[in-house]
Amino acid sequence: MNKWLASSALAVLATVALMVAQEPPAQQDPPKEGGKGGKGGKGGKGGFGGGAAKAKAPAGPFTRLPDGHPDMQGFWNAANNGGAVFEVQNHPIAKRGVGAGKGAVVDPPDGFIPYQPWAKQKAAELFESHMDQEPELHCFQSGVPHQNFVQFGFQITQTAAHMVMAWEFMHSYRIIPTDGRPHIAEGIHLFQGDSVGHWEGDTLVVDTTNSNDKTWMDTSGNFKSDKVHVVERLSPVDANTINYEATIDDATVYTRPWKIAYQFTKVLTPNYEQMEFGCIEGNQDVTHYTEDVGGKSKVVIKPPAGKE
């Protein structure tokens, strides 16, 4: 991978924005709730990730680990679900840097985040005037559930006591204990929140609290507070497909809980490995991003020390 591209989330974000401006991402209906065998990811014209999103012959059944739980290990890709990587909610009209798309919201049925009035206004303002605050631009981890539909893929590792998800993008990871332990103490706030998981049949249910308020739900200004509570459900469908849904509850921002759903598709490229993805090491060009993608407010960060 080109070193300079890999070294800069900025460059990637700008590139993606450009691609979308030229060619809106393909639409994909979110999987029906509880549906089996989903559609298996239509090819996204944006072309992210390891080439997993092509139509394939039906995969075999998923295998199991020695403890009897489904084995979901492998490389997965979840980008390009109705353009959720850009905007998680329904965005029927293309706007600056974001092609039209349905997003990934399945409840409410209209696909829009049920914001409280002030919050709806704030989200719009963030998009219009404060894209310089876009968290990934600052190399922040993406938070939950946003992390699960960022560009590039991720690897799932399972042990007797944990599920780990490790992304190529900004080398983010989530460590999810599955051994019944409780959440960490209230008052600790993390970009990725604190996740604990448990099995309900073949579904891994992940409960996330302790988030901070520095991440967005996407790259378009949709946001949450540090009170957000997310419950995710990962249900393998076959060896190459996982149904994913997340219920997002934050009474300080939304009028009611809302839900996203889409699929993880296995990366089947032979010998696939994730590369190293630097971000802060090369992140010095916030000004151009702000000017190109829009943002009336001034850049507030300086280059890292010694790189002026």
Partner 1 sequence: MIRCLILMTALAGTLLAQATYKAPRTWNNQPDLQGIWQARTNANDSVEPHTAVLGMSAGAGVIVDPPDGKIPYRPDAMAKRNANFKNRATADPVGKCWMPGVPRMTYLPFPLQIFQSANYILVASEFVHNYRTIYINGTKHLPGVDFYNGDSRGRWEGDTLVVDVAGFNDQTWFDRSGNHHSDDLHVVERYTRTAEDVLSYEATIEDPKTFTRPWKIALPLYLHKEPNFRLLEYECHAYLEDAIKDGSK
Residues that bind partner 1 in the complex, under the rule CB under 8 A: 3, 65-66, 73, 138-141, 155, 157-160, 162, 164, 166, 170-173, 175, 177, 181-182, 184, 188, 190-192, 194, 214, 271, 273-276, 278, 280-281, 300-302, 304-307
Q: What DSSP line would sit under 46-77, residue for residue?
A: T--TTS--S--SPP----B-TTSSB---EEEE
* Minimum separation from the CB atom of position 135 to partner 1 (A): 9
- Of the pair 170, 260, the CB lying nearest partner 1 is at 170
CA nearest 176: which of 234, 225, 126?
234
Strand partners of residue 101: 91
51 vs 177 by CB, closer to partner 1:
177
CB 71, min distance to partner 1, A: 10
Q: Cβ distance 258 to 247 under 8 Å?
A: yes
Specify the residue, 108 or 177, whose C-beta has the smaller distance to partner 1: 177
Nearest distance in Å: CB 187, partner 1? 12
Q: How many CA atoms lie within 13 A of 159 on its CB side?
A: 8
Nearer to partner 1, 175 or 251 (CB): 175
- From the CB of 90, what's the least distance to partner 1, in Å? 30
Instruction: Specify whether the backbone of 117 is left (phi greater than 0), alpha (psi in -120 to 50) or beta.
Output: alpha
Identify the burial level of 4 via C-beta atoms within 10 angstroms of its C-beta, where 0-12 means exposed, 13-18 middle and 19 or more buried.
exposed
| Minimum separation from the CB atom of position 199 to partner 1 (A) | 16
Q: Which is nearer to partner 1, 28 or 147 (CB)?
A: 147
CA distance 45 to 73: 27
